[in-house]
Amino acid sequence: MKRYGADRDKEIQRLLQEMPEEGFRLLFDVYHMQLCVYVVQLTDSFQLAEDIVQDFFVAF
């Protein structure tokens, strides 16, 4: 499982360099929910966590 994650991350890096829109979409699809879950642990609010993660991706 960990190897798949490393391969996936390399693919995201490659796409971000070669096809930024597709790379960003994959980055979002793969990490959006994981980031939300992590931020919920810090904020105790799923709505606030979604807003923070959304702000991160918009700034990216």
- Could you read off the pLDDT of 28-57 as tens digits, one per residue? 999 999 999 999 999 999 999 999 999 999
Residue 60 CA to residue 57 CA, distance in Å, equals 5
Count other Cβ atoms within 10 Å, centred on residue 26: 16
For residue 37, the model assigns a pLDDT of: 97
| Over residues 3-30, mean pLDDT | 91
Residue of 1, 27, 4 lying closest to 15 (CA atoms): 27
Return the structure tokens found at 9: 């991350």
User: Two tokens at 24?
Assistant: 């960003």
User: What is the pLDDT at residue 1?
Assistant: 38
Domain-by-domain residue ranges, the chain? 2-59
Q: What is the pTM of this model?
A: 0.77
